[in-house]
């Protein structure tokens, strides 16, 4: 690897620190990015700024005079939020398409059909669940409550 490639990579690292994702403030923060590079000692035992100028650079704080108006900031934030919502919807749809490949449609039941009831959430009077039945029934369906929920006619016990 040549030295020029290393220097370019070194400069890129500094620029990545000071430039935002959307690259809005690159020119504003460029002096901040140049300062650490120009003020660090290299193989010549001098700083790059010292060689042509005969002195080390002095750091004066960068004055940012540009104030973003509230309306402009609001429009920018709305745009970012819309982009985020769009990307989130794409991600959700992609996840749904992958998971739907392996799903089967739920069975359709009508009132009067006989169904089995899972005993998983029903408390038993037995000391252990092991000898209990996994499903109870069959019980008749009285009515459909939601897409996957039904009222069943259960015994009074």
Q: What is the pLDDT of residue 150?
A: 92
Residue 75 and residue 53 in one domain = no
Q: What is the pLDDT of residue 141?
A: 95
Residue 157 included in any domain: no
> In Å, how far are 69, 100, 107, 118 from 104, measured between CA atoms?
53, 8, 9, 19
Cα–Cα distance, 85 to 16 (Å, whole number): 26
Residue 81 and residue 95 in one domain = yes
Residue 8 and residue 56 in one domain = yes
Report the DSSP beta bridge partners of residue 152: 141
Residue 89 and residue 133 in one domain = no
The answer to whether 136 and 114 have CB atoms below 8 angstroms apart is: no
Residue 73 belongs to domain spanning: 67-103
For residue 148, give every residue at least 6 positions away whose Cβ sits within 8 Å of its Cβ, in sequence order, or none.
Answer: 106
Q: What is the pLDDT of residue 51?
A: 72
Q: What is the pLDDT of residue 81?
A: 82
The answer to whether 31 and 58 have CB atoms below 8 angstroms apart is: no
Residue 72 and residue 59 in one domain = no
Residue 108 included in any domain: no
As averages over each run of 10 residues, the pLDDT of the chain (157 residues) reads: 68 65 60 71 72 72 65 82 86 90 86 91 73 85 91 87
Look up tokens 């900031």; give the residue: 73
Residue 29 included in any domain: yes
The answer to whether the predicted template modeling score (pTM) of the entire model surpasses 0.85 is no
- Token duo for residue 43: 């193989």
Residue 140 included in any domain: yes
Q: What is the pLDDT of residue 60?
A: 65
Domain count, the chain: 3
Residue 7 and residue 59 in one domain = yes
Residue 109 included in any domain: no
Report the DSSP beta bridge partners of residue 51: none
């Amino acid at each position: 690897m040549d030295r020029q490639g290393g220097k370019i990579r070194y400069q890129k690292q500094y620029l990545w620190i000071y430039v935002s994702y959307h690259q809005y403030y690159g020119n504003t923060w460029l002096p901040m990015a140049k300062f650490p590079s120009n003020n660090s000692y290299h193989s010549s035992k001098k700083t790059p700024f010292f060689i042509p100028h005969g002195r080390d650079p002095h750091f004066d704080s960068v004055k940012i005079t540009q104030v973003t108006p509230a309306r402009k900031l609001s429009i920018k934030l709305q745009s970012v939020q819309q982009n985020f919502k769009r990307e989130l919807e794409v991600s959700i749809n992609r996840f749904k398409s992958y998971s739907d490949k392996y799903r089967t449609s739920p069975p359709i039941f009508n009132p009067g059909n006989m169904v089995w009831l899972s005993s998983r959430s029903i408390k038993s009077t037995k000391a252990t669940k092991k000898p209990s039945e996994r499903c109870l029934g069959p019980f008749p369906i009285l009515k459909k409550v939601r897409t996957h929920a039904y009222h069943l006619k259960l015994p009074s016990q």
